[in-house]
Amino acid sequence: MKAVFLDSQTFSSHISFSTIKKQVTTLTCYSTTLSEHIIERCAEAELIITNKVVLTEDILVQLPTLKLICISATGYNNVDINAADKLNIAVTNVAGYAGNSVAQYVLAQMLEYYQQISHYNSITEQGHWQQTETFCYHGNAITELAGKTLGIVGYGNLGQSVAKLAQAFGMKILISERINADNIRQGRVSFEELISKADIVSLHCPQTINTENLINAKTLSKMKATTMLINTARGALINSIDLLTALKEKQLAYAVLDVLEQEPPPADHPLLIARQEKGLDNLKITAHIAWASSEAQQRLINLLSENIAAFKRGENLNRL
């Protein structure tokens, strides 16, 4: 199979593609690909690998040799699945590779906030500890995670991995039922109950019609003023303007965002502007890296190669 990877730059340079290369005749990698270059680059491809490059019906109908699309991610909204099915093009995705990485990120952010590590490091760098008359210097309050209530919205592999680590710290876990669900399953609570009781709300649900703008002025108003909000799922789950207002008015204690509605975000994104220019100190934004431990990236590539191998054997592994 002739394979083309349209956006290999979504992986770190030290990640090996050797398992993929073993499954194909040739593998041509492009760091990024604009939509107007897809047809030219994939004219003879039997396999396309894409992370975020969009493959529409108009594009797919112009690729007669294409047999398989491997999405190097869990989300698949960048590929027209129905068009691919009509054209007899198989489509696969990958899942279950980033649980450890995302859980580690979420717990690291909680520990940073409640333990105030950067604050106390800064105190020492500024010489305050050296000048005190006692053996320690008390700055911002340090709070234990034990006994805190963590509300998890989206309880798949990622949410479960976060819960496992949180339980090791002695935290209480609330699991949200699906939004607008008619019945509450055993072991879960309604989303409304979760956001009103949780000390930390961690988002791990997919972006759907029901979850877009899930966190908005109304839901933020129901959270405790001491709540910490963490989003490692999709940026569109949160209304950025409503969040900014809540943070400015101290209606919400702290927010950590690893995702935004547009990625990469525009330089004038209101949350970035507020963080950079106006000193909004209760907001932290990272560059969609919660999933991206070296181990998780390599697991993803290896899972993707297994999808290719299964396709060659006539099997439907991770087929969408």
Task: Based on the residue annotation, tell me whether 188 is a catalytic residue of this protein.
Answer: no
In a domain, 318, yes or no: no
Give the per-residue pLDDT at 106. Answer: 98
Q: Are residues 300 and 191 both part of a single domain?
A: no
Q: Are residues 63 and 207 both part of a single domain?
A: no
Give the per-residue pLDDT at 77. Answer: 85
Enclosing domain of residue 7: 2-97+294-312
Residue 36, classified by CB atoms within 10 Å of its CB into exposed (0-12), middle (13-18) or buried (19+), is: exposed
Q: Are residues 164 and 240 both part of a single domain?
A: yes
Give the per-residue pLDDT at 240. Answer: 97
In a domain, 179, yes or no: yes
Give the per-residue pLDDT at 276. Answer: 83
Q: Which of 192, 263, 295, 315 is catalytic?
A: 263
pLDDT in tens, the chain (320 residues): 999 999 999 999 999 999 999 999 999 999 999 999 999 999 999 999 999 999 999 999 999 999 999 999 988 889 999 999 999 999 999 999 999 999 999 999 999 999 999 999 999 999 999 999 899 999 999 999 999 999 999 999 999 999 999 999 999 999 999 988 889 999 999 999 999 999 999 999 988 899 999 999 999 999 999 999 999 999 999 999 999 999 999 999 999 999 999 999 999 999 999 988 767 899 999 999 999 999 999 999 999 999 999 999 999 999 99
Convert 115-144 to b/e letters by CB count within 10 Å (16 or more is b).
ebeeebeebeeeeeeeeeeeeeeeeeeeee
Q: Are residues 265 and 152 both part of a single domain?
A: yes
Cα 117 from chain centroid (whole Å): 24
Task: Based on the residue annotation, tell me whether 128 is a catalytic residue of this protein.
Answer: no
Task: Based on the residue annotation, tell me whether 14 is a catalytic residue of this protein.
Answer: no
In a domain, 274, yes or no: yes
In a domain, 14, yes or no: yes
Q: Are residues 58 and 169 both part of a single domain?
A: no
Kindly tell me the sign of the dihedral angle through the C-alpha atoms of 286, 287, 289, 294. Answer: negative
Q: Which of 188, 275, 288, 299 is catalytic?
A: 288
In a domain, 151, yes or no: yes
Closest by CA position to 203, among listed 252, 245, 259, 244:
259
Q: Are residues 223 and 234 both part of a single domain?
A: yes
Convert 243-253 to b/e letters by CB count within 10 Å (16 or more is b).
bbebbeeebbb
Q: How many domains does the chain have?
A: 2
Q: Are residues 18 and 131 both part of a single domain?
A: no
In a domain, 60, yes or no: yes
- pTM summary value: 0.91
Q: Are residues 134 and 225 both part of a single domain?
A: yes
Q: Are residues 150 and 188 both part of a single domain?
A: yes
Give the per-residue pLDDT at 194. Answer: 97
Give the per-residue pLDDT at 43. Answer: 95
Q: Which of 178, 204, 234, 269 is catalytic?
A: 234
In a domain, 145, yes or no: yes
Q: Are residues 135 and 278 both part of a single domain?
A: yes
Q: In the sheet where 254-257 sits, what is the strand order?
A: 172-175, 149-153, 200-203, 228-231, 254-257, 283-285
CATH of the domain at 74: 3.40.50.720
Q: Are residues 199 and 113 both part of a single domain?
A: yes
Give the per-residue pLDDT at 212. Answer: 94
Cα 118 from chain centroid (whole Å): 24
Q: Are residues 127 and 91 both part of a single domain?
A: no
Give the per-residue pLDDT at 22. Answer: 97
In a domain, 317, yes or no: no
Kindly tell me the sign of the dihedral angle through the C-alpha atoms of 172, 224, 144, 104. Answer: positive
